[in-house]
Amino acid sequence: MTNSSGRRLLAMNGTIYAGARTIEDGRMLIGADGRIEAIGGAELDAEELETAGARLLDLGGGVVIPGLIDQHVHGGGGWQAMDATYEGLNGMSLYHASHGTTSFLATTESAAEAEILDALHNVAQAAAGRGLEGAELLGVHLEGPFLNPIRCGAQDKANIRPASPDELDRYLEAAGGLIRIVTLAPEIEGGMEAAERLSRAGVTLSVGHSDATLAQMREAIRRGAAQTTHHFNGMSPFHHREPGVAGAGLLCPELTTELIADGIHVHPDAVKLLYDVKGARGVCVITDAVYCAGLPDGEYGDTTMKDGQVWLKDGSSLAGSSLTMLQALRNVLRFTGRPLAEVLPSLTEVPARQIGVSGRKGMLEAGMDADFLVLNGALELQSTYVRGREVYSKKAADSPIG
């Protein structure tokens, strides 16, 4: 992917959050290949660069942050990964780009093997083909089917099964190397062996929908576990006599903790607690958004959405969220009282690290992909750029058609 003009681009007149630096009246030079060439101030001379053929982009005094990376998202805008169609992935891509996501992992759910294989083949084809029009597809988060039915949550209990090495290998092959994260319960039959298999394959193992004890979690870490899935949700809770998975996430520095920061899945004070214990680089903010995110309240298949909350129709469990990454960022700022620069890594650098793309995603620095958001002072989205290409503009979205 190149930036849409096919020319170098100088973005200027914005406050740029570039790693440890915050550059007032900053400038960012983006190559025709969509990578950042330089970030700085007036030393990037606009007149000189324009004369040399660069296009100028006025950021309008906005706040410029790295693009937000969602490593756990099932759907949104009426689309979902399990549709197993290009249109489903592209619809997700466009919807979430309009809410601050610049790259994502298409996330599956527990289903029949044939359905999961179809979804994985579809991701592999989309990645090898024309790509998506909005947020960039970075691969797959395989959530299930190797889970503990005791902690299934909204996952289909009928499609939860022991961890089969042959089935896991079929998934890895179908995705063509694009499975970046697998959520499983290490305490189930075959779970620890699957952890080792995934670790050898370079896949991040995330413990979720698990009833593991602290001792089992420590063994899973020894076998390769590196994070927890939607921390506090779908896992054995903390108890003073058995800390469980929730306690392991808090206690073990080897584990990064995913977090659905909607204030529904996790109480705002528990969000603050997680940040106080783990720090921003120990927390990975996700949406866990599903098909109906962005749609009106109503019934959608086996779920009901009301006031933005998504539940199974019988009310027994939350069934994903309607959260967006940019709203999650604003929520974390409000819940924790921490500054923007401190919180940003949880939505940028940390997911890039967990997915294995930190060499090109997650920061605004020379050599990195030019994935960035332009926000106003209230942190409302003005435009989204993926590899230097504008994929969403509020101005265009608000303009009347015709």
Backbone angles phi, psi at 334, to 5 degrees: -70, -40
Strand partners, 309: 306, 321
Catalytic annotation present for 288: yes
Do residues 41 and 26 touch, judged by C-beta distance below 8 A?
yes
Burial 213-222 (b: 16+ CB within 10 A, else e): bbebbbbbbe
Task: Identify the bridge partners of residue 260 per DSSP, sorted by sequence position.
Answer: 286
In sequence order, what DSSP letters do the residues of 219-256 get, joined into one string? HHHHHTEEEESSTTSSBPPP-SS--HHHHHHHH-TT-E
Which one, of 90, 141, 91, 147, lies nearest residue 116 by Cα?
A: 141
User: Do strands 36-40 and 283-286 pair parallel, antiparallel, or not at all (unpaired)?
Assistant: unpaired
Query: In angstroms, rounded to a whole number, what is the distance separating the alpha carbons of residues 341 and 86?
Result: 36
Could you tell me which residues come within 8 angstroms of residue 267 by beta carbon, excluding any fewer than 6 positions away?
none
Residue 81's SS3 state is helix
List the catalytic residue out of 70, 211, 288, 369: 288
Instruction: Please give the distance of CA 243 from its chain centroid, rounded to a whole number.
Output: 27
Strand partners, 73: 106
The residues annotated with a catalytic role in the active site are: 288
